Amino acid sequence: MKKLCIAVFLCVISVAIQARVSHAIEMGIMTGNEKGTYYQFGLNLQELMAQHGIKLKVYPSKGSIENVYSVYKNHSSQLGIVQSDVLAFISRVQSNKTLKTVAKKIKLVFPLYNEEVHIVARKGITDFSDLSDRRVAVGEDGSGTYLTAKLLFEVSGIKPKDMVNIGTGDALMQLKEGKIDAMFYVAGAPVKLFAEDIKEQDNLELLPVMDKQILDFYPRAEIPAGTYAWQDKPVKTVAVKAVLVTYDFRTGECENVGKFARILSDNLDRLIQTGHPKWKAVDLDYTLKGWTQYDCVKKHLGTLAQKKEPARLNPVQDAIKGMLE
């Protein structure tokens, strides 16, 4: 009789566990290149969410522009990491019906961290103005790197010979082979691609971005010496804010995104300790000018009825607004 009771008990427990697993929340997050910071953040979040009943699928992508569209159109990827200047551009363009519709449906979950503009060039190219009449890889169509590179050239007046639209992996390969002179990559340092795939003998270096016109539009940043083994000096550059976005769900997905946000917020210290080094720079309370936090997130954080704080200055958004007026 005792053995029978134990068997029944184990059976009940097994059924309960299976039911719990079958009812796990399934979500997706659009990130970026598999050797980029977005993707590493996605993997960190995947591991965290798995311990709280959320099965998070991490999707690599071309970057910010593709991520915005996927969150808007493909609701199996409820979340995406996007550059703030891409969001600013989308929200400001009123002449395009598609962008107006997308802007209304994309909602802010959290601001994350500043992404440094990395420009890797052949040795002998010493500053941003040296990119004039050069062949420069600016990222794939659909990437935030592409839009940022185009904006940097626009505001500085520097005109490269060719702006090559290829992914970061291909760009680095062509840079090593001497087929291009420099490449852009907007990503939070340290970038896995540059840490693993560039060696001292490649004769490549990070290019400082000190152009006055650019500094009037983008906030200053610095990539500290030794961030990469082949980089022995600090490099001054500019940055954009990476942000986590979602769709304006009015169904059960609204609750799921809210739960996801609460878990992230409650476990930020753990992510800082065990995740990508850039988690140390995450500021979930930063107010991104022009964007209000998704109400489903506020509800789960208990901030829905709190007094709204004044927006902090966002030089990137203000700069792009000025350019497009």
For position 309, which CATH number holds? 3.40.190.10
pLDDT above 50: residue 2: no
Q: Which residues, in sequence order, are CB contacts of 228 under 8 Å at separation 6+? A: 190, 194, 195, 198, 206
11: in domain: no
Long-range contacts: 101-104, Cβ < 8 Å, 24+?
102/68, 102/69, 102/72, 104/248
Residue that has been written with the tokens 């029978």 in this structure: 4
Tell me what the mean pLDDT of segment 171-189 comes to: 96
Q: What is the pLDDT of residue 317?
A: 57
Residue 33 lies in a domain: yes
Band of pLDDT at residue 314, cut at 50, 70 and 90? low
- In which band, very low, low, confident or very high, does the pLDDT at 36 lie, cut at 50, 70 and 90? very high
What is the residue-averaged pLDDT of the chain? 87
Q: CA dihedral defined by 262, 267, 269, 274, rounded to 10 degrees?
A: -140
Same domain, 203 and 280: no
Residue 258: which of 307, 304, 305, 298 has the closest Cα? 298
Decide if 4 is inside a domain: no
In tens, the pLDDT along 62-84 reads 889 899 999 999 878 999 999 98
pLDDT exceeds 50 at position 18:
no
Stronger pLDDT, 170 or 84, i.e. the higher one: 170
232 and 184 belong to one structural domain: yes
Whole-number pLDDT of residue 9? 43
Same domain, 197 and 309: no
Mode of pairing for the β-strands spanning 182-187 and 106-122: antiparallel
Does 13 reside within a domain? Answer: no
pLDDT class for 322, splitting at 50, 70, 90?
low
Q: Using 50, 70 and 90 to split pLDDT, how confident is the model at 174?
A: very high
Indicate if 130 and 205 belong to the same structural domain. yes
pLDDT of 24 reads 79
- Do 175 and 123 lie in one domain? The reply is yes
Instruction: List pLDDT tens digits, range 88-110.
Output: 888 777 678 888 888 889 999 99
Instruction: Give the model's pLDDT for residue 16.
Output: 42
Q: How far is CA 287 from CA 71, 144, 272, 312, in A?
A: 21, 21, 20, 6
Residues 231, 288, single domain; the answer is: no
- What's the domain count of the chain? 2
Is pTM beyond 0.85? Reply is no
- Position with higher pLDDT, 85 vs 196: 196
Whether 7 is covered by a domain: the verdict is no
Contact criterion met (CB below 8 Å) for 252 and 270: no
* Within a domain: 291: yes
HSE-up (13 A, CA, CB side) for residue 273: 5
- Binned at pLDDT 50, 70 and 90, residue 85 comes out as confident
Containing structural domain, residue 170: 116-240
Rounded percentage of the chain residues whose pLDDT exceeds 90: 69
* Residue 192 maps to a domain: yes
- At 22, is the pLDDT very low, low, confident or very high (cuts 50, 70, 90)? very low
Q: Are strands 25-30 and 79-83 parallel, antiparallel or unpaired?
A: parallel
Helix intervals (H) in 159-278:
168-177, 192-197, 212-215, 252-266, 268-274
Averaged over 122-140, what is the pLDDT?
95
Q: Is the pLDDT of residue 26 over 60?
A: yes
> What per-residue string of b and e applies to 197-214 under the rule 16 or more CB within 10 Å gives b?
ebeeeeebbbbbbebeeb
* Banded pLDDT at 19 (limits 50, 70, 90): very low
42-51, 63-72, 273-282, 316-325: range with lowest mean pLDDT: 316-325
Residue 324 has pLDDT above 80, yes or no: no
The per-residue pLDDT for 75 is 76
- In angstroms, the CA 56 to CA 45 distance is 8
pLDDT at 76: 82
Q: If we measure between CA atoms, which residue out of 91, 32, 100 comes closest to residue 67?
A: 32
